[in-house]
């Protein structure tokens, strides 16, 4: 899962890559023209050919030619920006930058929202429109292999259209310094075949599955008794908090803590015990009162929420 813009995973990113190469070539040509002009002009001046120097500088490579090249590249770039903002195929995903994680909500045809966090799934071959917000500071939403990057600004909704050609995994990052754990603010992107995506979304809309086994049941009881539900939602249970990430299907995501750790029992246990040790400045409090067995039970419960 590279973070390279030069390895495009869809048509929009491909356009950006092409534009990059055109711009790099244009810049190279202008650079060579300007240097060549400087050398020729200096020599002409030594020979006293001042009129020739003026013509060369104004009509030739000093002003006119670079202006034409840069102008053409700017027009091509601006046209592409407007392409990026052309609405998608009706698929809308809302993403909100938080300290330091990603709140995700999928709009569905019946108007309801399917809530998730720190992972984005997209159907292959469809233009998906992202509605981007922030609740605190300016973050920046960027999936380098799929296209452009755009800021997430408090009090303002930005839109970005992205498309992935084929099923696969990608990585997204926050591309704007937003505080002490800015570098620990990433997310996984999973592109699925459209039918598989629809099936997945229907499952995500369902309530959490009941804990399986004695350890997971103990974990659920601890989760409820320690007030985790004040911040986290697990649909179908009493936990209905909206402050932190929605955990209804947490176990189906590839990572936890905004792609900082893998999604397994040990990582969840370590995170719950001391979040700020893993992510400095994280808003989730420590739970030092939980012993190792209790942490494993909570980890087992959450890991099982697929
Ligand atoms: Cu969020 Cu950097």
Which of the pair, 103 or 148, is modelled with greater confidence?
103
Mean pLDDT of 134-153: 93
Q: What percent of the chain has pLDDT over 90?
A: 65
pTM: 0.86
How many A from CA of 188 to the centre of ligand 1?
15
Rounded CA-CA distance 6/199 in Å is 32
Q: Which range (73-77, 191-195, 210-214, 298-302) has the least confidence?
A: 73-77
Average pLDDT, the chain: 91
Mean pLDDT of 187-191: 95
Strands annotated E in 135-254:
139-142, 149-152, 158-163, 168-174, 186-192
Q: Which residues pair with 162 in a beta bridge?
A: 128
Q: pLDDT tens-digit profile of 110-135?
A: 889 999 999 999 999 999 999 999 99
Q: How confident is the model at residue 95 (pLDDT cuts 50, 70, 90)?
A: very high
How many A from CA of 102 to the centre of ligand 1?
10
Rounded CA-CA distance 12/80 in Å is 9
Q: pLDDT tens-digit profile of 285-297?
A: 999 999 999 999 9
Rounded CA-CA distance 248/236 in Å is 8
Q: How confident is the model at residue 1 (pLDDT cuts 50, 70, 90)?
A: low
Which of the pair, 277 or 70, is modelled with greater confidence?
277
Mean pLDDT of 210-239: 95
Q: Whose CA is nearest to atom 1 of ligand 1?
A: 139
Which of the pair, 53 or 180, is modelled with greater confidence?
180
Asked if residue 97 has its Cβ within 6 Å of ligand 1, the reply is yes
The answer to whether the CB of 122 falls within 8 A of the CB of 192 is yes
Mean pLDDT of 95-105: 96
Asked if residue 178 has its Cβ within 6 Å of ligand 1, the reply is yes
How many A from CA of 238 to the centre of ligand 1?
31
User: In ligand 1, which atom is closest to the CA atom of 185?
Assistant: 1
CA-to-CA dists, residue 260 to 16, 61, 138, angstroms: 28, 51, 20
User: In ligand 1, which atom is closest to the CA atom of 97?
Assistant: 1
Mean pLDDT of 60-73: 82
């Amino acid at each position: 899962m590279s973070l390279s813009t030069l390895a495009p995973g869809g048509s929009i990113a491909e356009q950006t890559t092409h534009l990059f190469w055109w711009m790099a070539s244009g810049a190279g040509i202008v650079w060579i023209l300007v240097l060549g002009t400087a050398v020729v002009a200096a020599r002409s001046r030594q020979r006293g050919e001042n009129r020739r120097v003026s013509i060369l500088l104004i009509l030739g490579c000093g002003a006119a030619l670079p202006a034409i090249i840069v102008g053409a590249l700017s027009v091509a770039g601006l046209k592409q920006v407007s392409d990026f903002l052309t609405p998608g195929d009706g698929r809308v995903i809302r993403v909100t930058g938080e300290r330091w994680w990603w709140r995700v909500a999928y709009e569905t045809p019946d108007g309801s929202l399917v809530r998730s966090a720190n992972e984005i799934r997209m159907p292959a071959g469809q233009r998906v429109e992202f509605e981007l917000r922030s609740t605190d500071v300016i973050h920046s939403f960027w999936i380098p292999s799929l296209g452009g990057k755009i800021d997430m600004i408090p009090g303002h909704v930005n839109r970005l259209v992205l498309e992935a050609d084929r099923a696969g995994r990608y990585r997204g990052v926050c591309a704007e310094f937003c505080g002490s754990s800015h570098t620990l603010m990433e997310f996984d992107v999973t592109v699925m075949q459209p039918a598989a995506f629809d099936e997945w979304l229907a499952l995500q809309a369902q309530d959490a599955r009941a804990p399986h086994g004695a350890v997971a049941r103990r974990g659920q009881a601890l989760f409820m008794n320690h007030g985790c539900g004040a911040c986290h939602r697990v649909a179908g249970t009493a936990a209905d908090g909206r402050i932190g990430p929605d955990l209804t299907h947490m176990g189906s995501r590839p990572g936890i803590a905004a792609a900082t750790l893998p999604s397994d029992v040990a990582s969840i246990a370590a995170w719950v015990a001391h979040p700020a040790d893993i992510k400095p400045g994280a808003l989730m409090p420590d739970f030092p009162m939980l012993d190792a067995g209790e942490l494993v039970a909570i980890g087992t419960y959450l890991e099982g929420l697929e």
